[in-house]
Amino acid sequence: MTISSAKNRSRNRGAWLFLMLPLFWAGTDSSDNNLQNAVSGATFVTLDSASSGEFSVITYNVAGLPEIISSAKTQRAPSITEIGHRISRFDIAHIQEDFNYNRNLYNRNTHSFRTRNKGKVPFGDGLNTLSKYPIREMRRVKWNDCTGADCFTPKGFTYSRLEVAKDVFIDFYNVHANAYNHASAAKARRNNILQLSNYIKMHSAGQAVIVMGDLNAHYCFGLDNLKTLLADHHFEDAWIFHKRKGLLPQSSQTIPPADILTITDSTETIDKILYRSSNDLILKTSEYRLENDLFSDAAGLPLSDHHPVSARVQWALRKVEYLTKRLR
Domain locations along the chain? 49-327
Whether 261 contacts 300, CB under 8 Å? no
pLDDT value of position 19: 46
pLDDT value of position 20: 47
pLDDT value of position 146: 98
DSSP assignment of 58-115: EEEE---S-GGG---SS-HHHHHHHHHHHGGGSSEEEEE---TTHHHHHHS---SEEE
pLDDT value of position 274: 99
Q: Which of 196, 133, 198, 141 is closest to 161 using CA atoms?
A: 133
pLDDT value of position 42: 63
State yes or no: cis peptide before 257, omega within 30 of 0.
no
Domain at 49-327, CATH class: alpha beta
321, with CB counted inside 10 A (0-12, 13-18, 19+), is exposed
Distance CA 100, CA 112 (A): 22
Give the model confidence (pLDDT) of 205-246 as tens digits.
Answer: 999 999 999 999 999 999 999 999 999 999 999 999 999 999
CA distances, 51 to each of 268, 299, 321, 324 (Å): 34, 44, 10, 12
CA distances, 136 to each of 34, 43, 170 (Å): 11, 7, 10
Give the model confidence (pLDDT) of 40-55 as tens digits.
Answer: 876 678 899 999 999 9
Q: Which helix (H) or strand (E) holds 129?
A: strand 128-131
Q: CA angle at residue 257 from 255 to 262, to 5 degrees?
A: 165
pLDDT value of position 47: 95
- For the chain, the C-alpha Rg in angstroms (whole number) is 19
> Where does residue 101 fall: left (phi above 0), alpha (psi -120 to 50 degrees), or beta otherwise?
alpha
The torsion angle over the Cα atoms of residues 211, 134, 309 and 226, rounded to 10 degrees, is 0
165, with CB counted inside 10 A (0-12, 13-18, 19+), is middle
Give the model confidence (pLDDT) of 143-162 as tens digits.
Answer: 999 999 999 999 999 999 99
How would you write the pLDDT of the chain (328 residues) with one tens digit per residue? 443 433 434 444 554 454 444 444 333 333 455 676 788 876 678 899 999 999 999 999 999 999 999 999 999 999 999 999 999 999 999 999 999 999 999 999 999 999 999 999 999 999 999 999 999 999 999 999 999 999 999 999 999 999 999 999 999 999 999 999 999 999 999 999 999 999 999 999 999 999 999 999 999 999 999 999 999 999 999 999 999 999 999 999 998 887 899 999 999 999 999 999 999 999 999 999 999 999 999 999 999 999 999 999 999 999 755 444 444 4
DSSP assignment of 188-211: HHHHHHHHHHHHHHHHSTTS-EEE
pLDDT value of position 248: 96
Distance CA 318, CA 286 (A): 18
